[in-house]
A and B are shown apart, each in its own frame.
Chain A
Amino acid sequence: MSAAGHKVPGSIAQVGVVMRYSFLDYLRSRRFVILLVITFIIGGLLTGVVGYYRPAGFLGSPLSFLSGWWGLSVTLITVLSGIFFGGDAISGEFQNKTGYFTLPNPIRRSSVYVGKWLSAFTASSIILFIFTAITLANAFYYFPGMSIPWQFGESLLFAWFYLVGVLGFTFFFSSLFKSSSYSILITAILFLFAFNLIDTIVSAFAQVEPWFSITYGSQIIGNILTTPYPDHITKVAAGFGPRAGAAATFTSYNVTIPEGLAIIGIYFLVTAALGLILFERKEFN
């Protein structure tokens, strides 16, 4: 109870307060506008390229169109949203000193963490759904009167779930560092380059399934748009000359849906929990 007799709200109500105001801050921020512009640029480029070249692989069926368009680009949009809104969500509280305004109040750090996560998730979801709208608008242009394939609905849900995992991960790195630029840079490098590189090296050369990689798990977003769903393991013999087939065998792995969901889910649970523990323990020095 405060001096004036006000009862301090419960932690869940405070999560809602933090979410509401940090979402307002995100919505008005330059980064939201920049991400919106990037989304429109990606959407615009795809619209222009497909419209000009009219690739047969895209225009065969609604599903192949969505597979080519959405499958190629949505993970990038998801990752960019996660980096833009989650990359410095917690480190910014230290570096920008906004934590000095919010935290010396009767509120648990966990309420601030969860509230900020939810606001980042909401802001990222808006971007994701805008890109979904651009994708569907193009699909309806090329296939008037089409019914949206059920695989696309699933793919959207997977992308949304991947966003959950990405934000868990970015919040973890954001809690790990006190510098916003470090946390943004490291998450960007990991998601845009490192994970993909590791996936390729591990599966193609070491012939080990990269089950430990969240980007491997995210393959379900694109794979669900392929009919039939790709085989879990594909071996390709490669080489040159008459004995080409025996020269080398490359293995490629395609994540199964349960496996992909499990990888993303575990990534989220572990990294979000670790991020929260770090934030609880971190000091404002």
Chain B
Amino acid sequence: MTNPSIEAVNLSKTYGSFTALSNLNLKIEGSKCVGFLGPNGAGKTTTLKIFTDLIRQSSGEALINGNNVHTHKKAALASVGTVIETPEIYPSLTPTEALSMIAAIRGIPHSERSKRIEDVIVEVGMQEWAKKRVGKFSKGMKQRICIASALLSDPTIVLLDEPTTGLDPRGMSEVRDIVKSLKKKDRLIFMSSHILSEVADVCDEVAMIDHGKLLVYDTLPNVTAKFAGGANIVEVELIRPIDSSVMERSVAVIQGVVSVEKKDDKNLRIKYGGGGLEIQEKVLSDLVRLNIGVVSYKPASSALEESYLNLIKDTL
């Protein structure tokens, strides 16, 4: 199977004199999770709506796996699962019926349909509600069914538009876990979000957009290294609790480390001097050598936030 890909080629969208999207060129290829960031009105949802044929571009092309979404919608969206805004489901249907409809539209054979629907309902934690009518569901419950619908055909590409918007903290956390679990399979996930910590937590790469123009598209470490200014912070997760004295004696003295902060027994925030990926790599290798049980090492969301603010500020 070829690498999943989505590509915007000179993609523009105008509403009268207002330009929502201006010559967007962006190619994302391979199994990864890409966060799509930008302020309100930047063009994120417009882009995702063009990629799902909910709106038409004014010029340019939106391609999914090489297929033009507008002219060859069925081919383009055959292997794509989407949740755009907060969709509503026909209120008299149950989740099982609504998902059966989508399964039938997508051509999932009868023999597999029930099992597949059951699986995705379990995946989004809605098994108790599978036979109840959707009309009475909360926004969060409907959002889960929509996520289930996006996963139904086991897509290679998942497009999510602010999937946690409107959810309570627990719902947000659960949806984040679902998105993380999506990464376990070979999928391209393209997710717009306002929540930078969410993107830092879930995504491998980020694309930032403002005033309809792409500002940057790169890996998360590269973006934070290039644009976070002095605030180079990484978050480190440990498999076992670390003693404060070990932290002071061993971690704080690593060359390049400016300060170490203990978020809790198993999580550290390390601020390092200078910049760039080289110093990040050196700090990581020194931490591993300390044998303190490093299981995760990633740029802090605050670094992404600073990158974001620096980039967006430049376009104001």
Real binding pair: yes
CA distance A29 to B88 in the complex (A): 15
| Set of chain A residues within 8 Å of B91, measured between Cβ atoms | 25, 29
B307 within 8 A of A: no
What 1/0 flags go to A86-111 for Cβ under 8 Å of B? 00000000001111111111111000
What's the Cα separation between A7 and B104 when bound, in Å? Answer: 11
The answer to whether B132 has its CB under 8 Å from any CB of chain A is no
In this assembly, does B52 line the interface, its C-beta being within 8 Å of a C-beta of chain A? yes
Q: Which of A6, A21, A28, A108 makes the CB contact (< 8 A) with B106? A: A6
- Residue in B closest to A96 when the chains form the complex, CB atoms: B88
Residues of B participating in the A interface, judged by any CB pair closer than 8 Å? 1, 15, 49, 52-56, 73-80, 82, 84-93, 97-98, 100-102, 104-109, 133, 146, 149, 153-156, 159
B105 x A107 contact (CB < 8 A):
yes
Q: Is A237 an interface residue (CB 8 A)?
A: no
**Complex: how many Å from CA A25 to CA B54?**
23
Contact A108 to B109, CB < 8 A, known contacts A6-B153, A24-B97, A100-B54: no
- A28 CA to B136 CA, complexed, in Å: 14
Inter-chain contact total with CB atoms closer than 8 Å? 125
Q: Which residues of chain A have C-beta atoms less than 8 A from B102's C-beta?
A: 101-102, 105
Given A3-B156, A107-B74, also A101-B104 (CB < 8 A)? no
Which residues of chain A from 120 to 168 have a CB within 8 Å of any chain B CB? none
Bound complex: CA A25 to CA B89 (Å): 10
Q: Among the interface residues B84, B89, B101, B102, which one has the most CB atoms of the partner chain A within 10 A?
A: B101
Q: Which of A21, A100, A104 touches B93 (beta carbons < 8 Å)?
A: A21
Q: How far is the CB of B166 from chain A (nearest CB, A)?
A: 12
Check if A284 sits within 8 Å of B49, measured CB to CB: yes
Q: Would B55 and A2 count as touching, CB distance under 8 A?
A: no
What are the residues of chain B within 8 A of A2 when measuring CB–CB? 78-79, 106-107, 153-155
Name the one of B85, B101, B107, B154 contacting A100, with C-beta atoms under 8 angstroms: B85
* CB atoms of B74 and A106 under 8 A apart: yes
A17 CB-CB contact with B under 8 Å = yes
